[in-house]
Structure 1
Amino acid sequence: MLRYLLPATLLAAFTATLPGRAQAQPEAPALPDQQLHIMAGFAAGGTSDLVARLIAEGVGNVSGRRVVVENRTGANGFLAAEAVVRSPPDGSMLFQCAMGTMTISSELPGMIMPIDPRKDLVPVANVALSSYGAVVRARGSYQDMADVLKAAKAKPNAVSYASAGIGTAQHLTGERLQRMASVQMLHVPYRGAAPAAMDVMAGRADFMVTNLGDVMGQIRGGELRLVALGDASMKSAFPKTPLLSDTVPGLEVVGWFGLCGSSNMPDPAIRAWAAAVEKALQDETLQKRLRENGLTPLYEGPAAFAERMEKDRQAWREVITAAKVRVD
């Protein structure tokens, strides 16, 4: 009996095409063996904390690992970020990073930060877009943004807008609004979105443009009237509400919440976390819970997330420079 021997390379190519002999795909790297943590820089109960806990639960469900959320408040989230930067470089601890902390604070003259988010942190995965909206007192005289701008044009600095503090997205959006609509309004900064919203409800401030997650309860309860959306991501939830850009062409604001790691975080750990977040966000229950709180589920991997950050830094830097905003 004659026997023919195929060359090894040809044999390998032939056998790979046989049924049941598909080439094995490389597995995603595993999450670090250490206890997994997400450090949240803001108080429990807020939108930032909510996102951290939802994604921790989601990653836990898909990985079979417990992910602990720890709140370390202060310095606009930077105390939590610093804890991550100073942690062992094994990728077991991430920072729940928000747009303001990552793209506004670093551009503000006078801002004192324990770390540099541009150098000390790396993007791991975006989790959700955070829609913004313009709200007024429900029982007040303003029915829409056109009413607000009409009053502002009639008497400079007579209309006031509240914010969560100097240099926040709420403040800077108000600065953009004034410049683009050619009006002058009075900025009233507060120590957080909650007290700002309370004064809008009480009539002590006329309106504010803020994260929808912070005022969804008041909108649903009839205490605040949503008169404009910052972008189209929540249009399906509020189909009758116009966009800010419908009144002020070109004016758009949308935030985000994601996960960042220390700059010395191992690449396999970055890829493992990103893969777990992507898989977690495919869960319909998680998606629903995010949307119920004014958030739009959106996975972006490290490269796309980094690109979003840099574009936002440039955009906010232009606003800060034009308005001559400084924190002391």
Structure 2
Amino acid sequence: MAYPLPRRSALTLAAAMLARPSLAQTGDWPNRPIRWVNPGPAGGAGDVISRLVADRLSARLGQPVVVDNRPGAGTNIGMTIVARAPADGYTVGLATIAANAANKWLYREMAFDPEKDFAAVGLIALVPNIVVIPPSVPARNLQEFIAWAKAQNRPINFGSVGAGSSQHLAGSQFQVITGLQMQHLPYTNSGQMNTDLMEARIDMLFQSISAVTQMAQSGRMRPIAVSGTARVGAFPDLPTMQEQGVDITSTGWFGLCTPAGVPEPILARLDKELGEIVDDPAFRERIAATGSIPRKMGRAEFQAFMNEESLRWRDVIRAVGATAG
């Protein structure tokens, strides 16, 4: 004869049964492919770094890590996908200076909260920008360019891959420090932006190094400075902006995050694997070859870093009155 369970026991059993799948999924994670959302375009610096890390993460986890490029709205489209994904460890996203620091100050409405809707995993690399100008501009260094710009009877325009990008923010900071009148021209296609610079339809770019190395080295555009605190391997003779009297050392950056609420054991595993990848000498050499600087940060440090970046760019954005959609 079967006896009904007391109400409390029945509820306890039901709760335990509901908890089992979650525990099992955490314990055998990963048992299927992981989606890596890159909120930038294919072929960009974020795409290159995403694929370099995803390949190595796949080998370590024993499951495919598939890069899914979802550009648009200054990285907001891709990161909205990450924020709304199930918190099960099967969707991760490339954290960037745009979505995770600057966009909340640029956009009137956001579909996610960068501080509440993601869990930080770790930093991967810093990405200095190279300052390039058309060969037709009669300047050979940053101070000569500033003098030339001040002599023009119009605002100086600069391009970027979109509002909130490291290029846009560097240009805005340059405007604040130099006092130049400047106009931001956002592009959806970095190839067209580079072409417009070479043909002098725009005056300057703060561009990712990997995107313009060949064009700059061949003389189709002229490099005059790099951002960041040190010179870069691809252009060892090119002084930093700080060396040339313009105190800009900020860089773009890329890291890894997940939707908020991913179980602690999964976050800890991702943190461990990512840290070991960034520490690997072969990986560091490969990243450096793209013009980026490998930089390891664990979860807590990376979250604090993103919070600091958000406040830094809030002040710059307010100073120039920049807005986006």
Is the structural similarity TM-score above 0.5?
yes
For residue 109 of structure 1, report the CA deviation from its aligned partner. 4.3
1:290 maps to what in 2?
287
Show the 5 A alignment for 1:239-254. 239-254=236-251
Q: Identity across aligned pairs (percent)?
A: 27
Which deviates more, 225-234 or 297-306? 225-234
Task: Verify the 8 A CA contact 1:30 1:269 in the aligned structure 2.
Answer: no
Which deviates more, 44-53 or 65-74? 65-74
2:191 maps to what in 1?
194
Q: Which amino acid aligns with 2:274?
A: V
For residue 132 of structure 1, report the CA deviation from its aligned partner. 0.8
C-alpha distance in structure 1 between counterparts of 2:309 and 2:59, whole Å = 32
SS at match of 1:274: helix
Candidates 37, 48, 51, aligned match of 1:50? 48
Q: Which amino acid aligns with 1:210?
A: Q
C-alpha distance in structure 1 between counterparts of 2:277 and 2:164, whole Å = 33
For residue 53 of structure 1, report the CA deviation from its aligned partner. 0.7
SS at match of 2:86: coil
SS at match of 1:215: helix
Candidates 84, 91, 94, aligned match of 1:93? 91
For residue 127 of structure 1, report the CA deviation from its aligned partner. 0.8
1:18 maps to what in 2?
none
C-alpha distance in structure 1 between counterparts of 2:246 and 2:83, whole Å = 40
SS at match of 2:279: coil
Which deviates more, 312-321 or 166-175? 166-175
Show the 5 A alignment for 1:1-328. 31-110=29-108, 112-138=109-135, 140-157=137-154, 159-328=156-325
Task: Verify the 8 A CA contact 1:287 1:297 in the aligned structure 2.
Answer: yes
C-alpha distance in structure 2 between counterparts of 1:149 and 1:88, whole Å = 49
Q: Which amino acid aligns with 1:183?
A: L
Q: Which amino acid aligns with 2:203?
A: D
Q: Which amino acid aligns with 1:115?
A: F
For residue 168 of structure 1, report the CA deviation from its aligned partner. 3.4
Provide TM-score, normalisation by structure 1: 0.83
User: CA separation of 1:287/1:96 partners in 2, compared to 1, >3 Å: closer, same or farther?
Assistant: same
For residue 189 of structure 1, report the CA deviation from its aligned partner. 3.2
User: CA separation of 1:98/1:316 partners in 2, compared to 1, >3 Å: closer, same or farther?
Assistant: same
1:7 maps to what in 2?
none
Q: Which amino acid aligns with 1:49?
A: D
Task: Verify the 8 A CA contact 2:139 2:148 in the aligned structure 1.
Answer: no
SS at match of 1:179: helix
Q: Which amino acid aligns with 1:209?
A: F
Q: CA-atom RMSD, angstroms? A: 2.2
Provide TM-score, normalisation by structure 2: 0.84
Unaligned runs of at least 5 residues, structure 2 = 1-26
SS at match of 1:83: helix
Task: Verify the 8 A CA contact 2:35 2:92 in the aligned structure 1.
Answer: yes
Structure 1 or 2, whichever has the larger Rg, is 1
For residue 90 of structure 1, report the CA deviation from its aligned partner. 1.4
Instruction: Note the alpha carbon deviations across 1:34-79, whole angstroms, 9 max, x for none.
Output: 4222111222211111111110111123333321212223333233
User: CA separation of 1:241/1:50 partners in 2, compared to 1, >3 Å: closer, same or farther?
Assistant: same
C-alpha distance in structure 2 between counterparts of 1:37 and 1:50, whole Å = 16
SS at match of 1:33: coil
Q: Which amino acid aligns with 1:239?
A: P
SS at match of 1:246: coil
C-alpha distance in structure 1 between counterparts of 2:38 and 2:258, whole Å = 12
For residue 275 of structure 1, report the CA deviation from its aligned partner. 0.7
C-alpha distance in structure 2 between counterparts of 1:130 and 1:276, whole Å = 21
SS at match of 1:91: coil
User: CA separation of 1:253/1:196 partners in 2, compared to 1, >3 Å: closer, same or farther?
Assistant: farther
For residue 222 of structure 1, report the CA deviation from its aligned partner. 3.0
For residue 312 of structure 1, report the CA deviation from its aligned partner. 0.8
Instruction: Note the alpha carbon deviations across 1:219-261, whole angstroms, 9 max, x for none.
Output: 2333222210101355344221111112344222201111111
Task: Verify the 8 A CA contact 2:232 2:291 in the aligned structure 1.
Answer: no
Q: Which amino acid aligns with 2:81?
A: A
C-alpha distance in structure 1 between counterparts of 2:155 and 2:259, whole Å = 46
Q: Which amino acid aligns with 1:180?
A: I
User: CA separation of 1:277/1:223 partners in 2, compared to 1, >3 Å: closer, same or farther?
Assistant: same
User: CA separation of 1:60/1:84 partners in 2, compared to 1, >3 Å: closer, same or farther?
Assistant: same
1:10 maps to what in 2?
none
Unaligned runs of at least 5 residues, structure 1 = 1-28
C-alpha distance in structure 2 between counterparts of 1:56 and 1:305, whole Å = 19
Task: Verify the 8 A CA contact 1:108 1:326 in the aligned structure 2.
Answer: yes
Instruction: Note the alpha carbon deviations across 1:154-191, whole angstroms, 9 max, x for none.
Output: 23535332233344332332222122123223433333
After TM superposition, what 4+ stretches of structure 1 lie above 4 angstroms from structure 2?
none
Instruction: Note the alpha carbon deviations across 1:246-301, whole angstroms, 9 max, x for none.
Output: 23442222011111111111111111011111112233332222112111111211
